[in-house]
Chain A
Amino acid sequence: SQTIHQWPATLVQPVGSPLSLECTVEGTSNPNLYWYRQAAGRGLQLLFYSVGIGQISSEVPQNLSASRPQDRQFILSSKKLLLSDSGFYLCAWSAQGGTVAAFFGQGTRLTVV
């Protein structure tokens, strides 16, 4: 069966520090991968998605970036965090085709102080 791992679960970082969140999927090949952010009381905002290795599409201009160095690995990064980057970050995967459900990692609760 397929599983998705995301870490860390919680993170407190000072303003201006770098960020690296990692997500890996097991049990499937060539998944679509996604990074979402959910602010308190808000919906899921799509940040990045990838349909293959090295292919990244950005949905929202910001100081975050994403990379997909391997088929089942998706990384979210920032060189300098802002207070407004605080939120609940969720990695998700779906099978190729886009017509099937997305499955989420446990999420990372990021607090920038």
Chain B
Amino acid sequence: RKEVEQDPGPFNVPEGATVAFNCTYSNSASQSFFWYRQDCRKEPKLLMSVYSSGNEDGRFTAQLNRASQYISLLIRDSKLSDSATYLCGTGGSYIPTFGRGTSLIVHP
């Protein structure tokens, strides 16, 4: 079983839509959680950290559910520029671990 699992998608949504991604993790000792954005043929870039209390950054909201061992990312009012692959990652014990990513395509 992979440590971090994501639905690869693609999620194909119109501009203005709200879209949510989930990510499950198997290591209950994981202490930190993150969402990254990766554009085609580029490196992953940190989008936001995920805190136990949940956190919001503009149109993006991240949530953590420790009991069910999943994290989520909600994107409201999707823009064309949101099209990318979104990776979730966990940290702890020195080794960041990542899911395979969820592809998002926002169309006009």
Contact = CB atoms under 8 A, between A and B. Distances in A.
Interface of A: 32, 34, 42-44, 46, 49, 51, 88, 90, 92, 94, 98-107, 109
A49 B93 CA distance: 12
Among B49, B87, B98, max chain A CB count under 10 A is at B98
Nearest to A88: B41
Interface of B: 31-32, 34, 41-46, 49, 87, 89, 91-101
B-side binding surface: helix, strand, loop or mixed?
loop
B100 A92 contact: no
Contact of B91 (A46, A99, A106): A99
Contacts of A44: 44, 87, 98
B43 A43 contact: no
Contacts of A98: 31, 91-96
Contacts of B31: 98-99
26 contacts: A32-B94, A43-B98, A43-B100, A44-B44, A44-B98, A46-B95, A46-B97, A51-B94, A90-B44, A98-B31, A98-B93, A98-B95, A98-B96, A99-B31, A99-B32, A99-B91, A101-B46, A101-B91, A101-B96, A102-B89, A102-B96, A104-B43, A106-B42, A106-B43, A107-B43, A109-B41
Contacts of A105: 43
Among B31, B34, B45, B94, max chain A CB count under 10 A is at B94
B20 to A, nearest CB: 20
Nearest to A10: B41
Contacts of B42: 106-107
State the 4 A-B residue pairs at the shortest beta-carbon distance, nearest first. A43-B100, A104-B43, A98-B94, A102-B96
Nearest to B103: A41
